[in-house]
Each structure stands twice: as structure tokens, then as C-alpha cells.
Amino acid sequence: MDQTFSISDLAREFDVTPRTIRHYEAEGLIAPARDGQRRIYSGRDRVRLALVLRGKRLGFSLAEAKEIIDLYSAPQGEAFQLRTLLEKLDEKREILEDKRRDLDAAISNMDKYAARCRDRLAELEERPETAAEAAE
């Protein structure tokens, strides 16, 4: 379970360049161990990279992604820490749910439009001559 990865291992797996991964490190999103100069990525580092990339796909900036991901490694020793962590999680959750509302709307919107297109196409294929009348 303590498998490690080189920078190009991860670059290949996630289809990004090593430069990108180093950039994320410079921005504080990943902090791999070192063997001399060489970066050595743990399984946990790999997960963090996956989270960053997913965040990006969902439209988060690197800074926003960091805010969210850092919650997953926040200290939970005291009850106070746990409570403020739960508050922050809830805050981020709302942002994610806003996005889901947007996304659902976009998809159902597109579905309805596609359905109308299919209807129209069916009309055209049944009665090509009276195509224009289908609009009524």
C-alpha cells in the first residue's frame, strides 16, 4: 500500500505534463517527498493530484481547489477544530450543490431541445413535403 510514483508516472496516468505537476507543488497543492532532488509521490500525493484535476474539470481555480482539498487533511484533534471543519465542509458543499443545479439544468435543457429536434426530424422523414407546417 506504500507504493510510490515518479513525476512522469503521474503525468502519464493523468495526462498532464510534469511541468503542470510541479506547478501544483509551487502553488502548495501537493508536497511530495524527495530522494535528493527527485520528487517521490506517495499514494496520498496521487490522490491529491486526482482531486486537483477533478476540481479543475469542475471549474475551480487552483486556489479554490486547494481550499477544498486542504479540508481533507485538516487537523481534527479537538472538538473545536472538528466543528469549524464541519462548517467549512458545509460551505463548500453548498458550492458543489449550486454547480449540480446548474449542471442538471444544462442537461435537462439540452435533453428537451434534443427531443424537439427528434420530433422535427421524424416529421421531416414522414412527410417531407409538408415540413414547414410542422412548426404550427
Partner DNA sequence: AATTACGTTTACGTTAACGTAAACTTCAGT
Partner DNA sequence: ACTGAAGTTTACGTTAACGTAAACGTAATT
User: Under the rule (CB under 7 A), what is the footprint of DNA?
Assistant: 6-9, 11, 16-20, 22-24, 27, 36-39, 56, 61-63
CB-based contacts of 71, cutoff 8 Å, min separation 6: 85, 88, 89, 92
Q: Which of 19, 38, 118, 127 binds a copy of itself (CB under 8 A)?
A: 118
Contacts (CB under 8 A) with a copy of itself, residues 22-61: 54-60
CA-angle at 122, arms to 118 and 128, nearest 5°: 135
Q: 19-31 b/e with 16+ CB inside 10 Å = b?
A: ebbeebbeeebbe
Could you tell me which stretch among 5-13, 21-29, 34-42, 89-97 binds a copy of itself (CB under 8 A)? Answer: 89-97
Partner touching 8 among a copy of itself, DNA, none, CB below 5 to 8 Å by kind: DNA
**Residue 3 CA from chain centroid, whole number:** 24
Tell me how far apart the terminal alpha carbons of the chain are, to the nearest angstrom: 65
**Which residues of the chain form contacts with a copy of itself (CB under 8 A)?**
54-60, 71-72, 76, 78-79, 82-83, 85-86, 89-90, 92-93, 96-100, 102-107, 110-111, 113-114, 117-118, 120-121, 124-125, 128
